């Protein structure tokens, strides 16, 4: 059985550095520098029936929601870099039994989100397949000096997260609004040192920032913003709810680190700009490379306290 992260590491290793572009592979989107300090951002994400959404049963997605999610997960990657999305292409795999009307509803879900963010749908491909899938590639742009990657976190930085975490599987993963505006606001104003979108779950995605930045983190568990959906799922157990918030995938919130001296400005301006979206300081970056220390009620707790691993897309 292939491990997703191992395979990605292995493929990155196989691709000669000279073929990876100016910036090596490994962020939410690739950075392609152009002229005048600008750059293009380029990303792809595929969603597959039975893995990323269901079309039958209690947890089934509507075709509009599938279209929405297919585009939204790509937008979230551009958001995590602080970029502005521009245009996308979509390759769609369609099983024989699917009707044209159903496919059109998927397209409507994509079009509706594209309109919201004023991006263009410029091309595509369709093919037969056994399971329905939508593979989107999205092009964005930004000022190169503003783009935020996973790898700039510095010891002493404060760690912030937008929104509330956990339980996304109940509904949010199908209907979430990608944090494009918030990502652009952060990149243009406060300029975080590192940023990522929460797709694999807080623990794993924080781990991606730490390993890319060669730093560690101290997380204050009392501060983790737990969603109502995570609490519902936990049926009254606060510990379970916290566990869901830390390990459930597909929150598609932003996780970022900011130099300590910017925190006051960040918190004040955020509350003015995005009054409806919680912003929570959940910890700080440390020197202890790759290591996460967990604190609860002022005391250290073992990582063994968490049982569940992050969400596996694979």
Q: Which residues bind a second copy (CB under 8 A)?
A: 1-2, 4, 6-8, 10-11, 14-16, 19-21, 25, 29-30, 32, 34-35, 40, 42-48, 50-52, 86-87, 89-91, 93-94, 96, 98-100, 103-104, 107-108, 111, 114-115, 119-131, 133, 135, 137, 139, 313-314
Minimum CB distance to a second copy, residue 111 (Å): 6
Q: Which is nearer to a second copy, 123 or 188 (CB)?
A: 123
| Closest-CA residue to 159 (of 11, 311, 283, 276) | 283
Q: What is the DSSP letter of 169?
A: G
3-state secondary structure 248-263: CCCCCCEEEEECHHHH
Q: Which is nearer to a second copy, 5 or 185 (CB)?
A: 5
Q: Which is nearer to a second copy, 125 or 228 (CB)?
A: 125
Q: Which is nearer to a second copy, 95 or 188 (CB)?
A: 95
For residue 306, give every residue at least 6 positions away whose Cβ sits within 8 Å of its Cβ, in sequence order, or none: 203, 243, 246, 247
Minimum CB distance to a second copy, residue 138 (Å): 9
Longest dimension (CA), the chain: 58
Minimum CB distance to a second copy, residue 168 (Å): 17
Q: Which is nearer to a second copy, 7 or 271 (CB)?
A: 7
| Closest-CA residue to 182 (of 67, 248, 285, 266) | 266
Q: Which is nearer to a second copy, 87 or 295 (CB)?
A: 87
Q: Are 295 and 218 in contact (CB under 8 A)?
A: yes
Minimum CB distance to a second copy, residue 42 (Å): 6
Q: Is the dihedral of CA 22, 23, 28, 34 positive or negative?
A: negative
Minimum CB distance to a second copy, residue 163 (Å): 23
Q: Are 135 and 216 in contact (CB under 8 A)?
A: no
Q: Which is nearer to a second copy, 42 or 274 (CB)?
A: 42
Minimum CB distance to a second copy, residue 140 (Å): 12
Angle at 305 between CA 240 and CA 217, to 5 degrees: 105
Minimum CB distance to a second copy, residue 108 (Å): 7
Instruction: Tell me how far apart the alpha carbons of residues 153 and 212 are, in angstroms, rounded to a whole number.
Output: 9
* Other Cβ atoms within 10 Å of 271 Cβ, number: 12
Q: Which is nearer to a second copy, 131 or 308 (CB)?
A: 131
Instruction: Tell me how far apart the alpha carbons of residues 115 and 10 are, in angstroms, rounded to a whole number.
Output: 38
For residue 276, give every residue at least 6 positions away whose Cβ sits within 8 Å of its Cβ, in sequence order, or none: none
Minimum CB distance to a second copy, residue 299 (Å): 40
Q: What is the DSSP letter of 60?
A: B
Angle at 266 between CA 261 and CA 271, to 5 degrees: 150
Q: Which is nearer to a second copy, 35 or 299 (CB)?
A: 35
Minimum CB distance to a second copy, residue 291 (Å): 28
């Amino acid at each position: 059985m292939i491990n997703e992260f191992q395979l990605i590491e292995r493929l990155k290793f196989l691709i000669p550095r000279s073929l990876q572009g100016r910036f090596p592979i490994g962020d939410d989107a690739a950075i392609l520098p152009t002229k005048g300090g600008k750059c293009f951002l380029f990303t792809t994400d595929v969603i597959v029936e039975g893995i990323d959404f269901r079309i039958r049963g209690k947890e089934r997605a509507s075709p509009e929601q599938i279209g929405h999610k297919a585009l939204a997960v790509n937008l979230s990657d551009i958001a995590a870099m602080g970029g502005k999305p521009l245009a996308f292409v979509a390759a769609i795999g369609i099983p024989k039994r699917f009707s044209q009307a159903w496919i059109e509803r998927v397209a409507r879900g994509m079009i509706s989100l594209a309109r919201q963010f004023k991006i263009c749908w410029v091309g595509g491909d369709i093919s037969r397949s056994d399971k329905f899938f939508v593979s989107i590639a999205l092009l964005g742009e930004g000022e190169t000096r503003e783009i935020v990657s996973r790898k700039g976190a510095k010891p002493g930085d404060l760690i912030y997260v937008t929104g509330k975490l956990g339980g996304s599987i109940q509904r949010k993963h199908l209907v979430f609004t990608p944090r494009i505006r918030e990502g652009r606001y952060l990149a243009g104003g406060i300029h975080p040192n590192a940023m990522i979108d929460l797709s694999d779950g807080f623990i794993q995605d924080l781990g991606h920032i730490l390993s890319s930045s060669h730093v560690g983190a101290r997380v204050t568990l009392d501060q983790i913003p737990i969603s109502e959906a995570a609490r519902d799922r936990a049926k009254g157990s606060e510990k379970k709810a916290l566990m869901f918030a830390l390990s459930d995938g597909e929150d598609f919130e932003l996780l970022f680190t900011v130099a300590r001296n910017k925190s006051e400005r960040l918190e004040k301006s955020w509350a003015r700009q995005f009054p409806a979206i919680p912003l929570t300081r959940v910890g700080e970056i440390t020197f202890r490379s790759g290591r996460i220390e967990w604190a609860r009620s002022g005391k250290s707790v073992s990582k063994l306290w968490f049982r569940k691993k992050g969400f596996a897309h694979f």
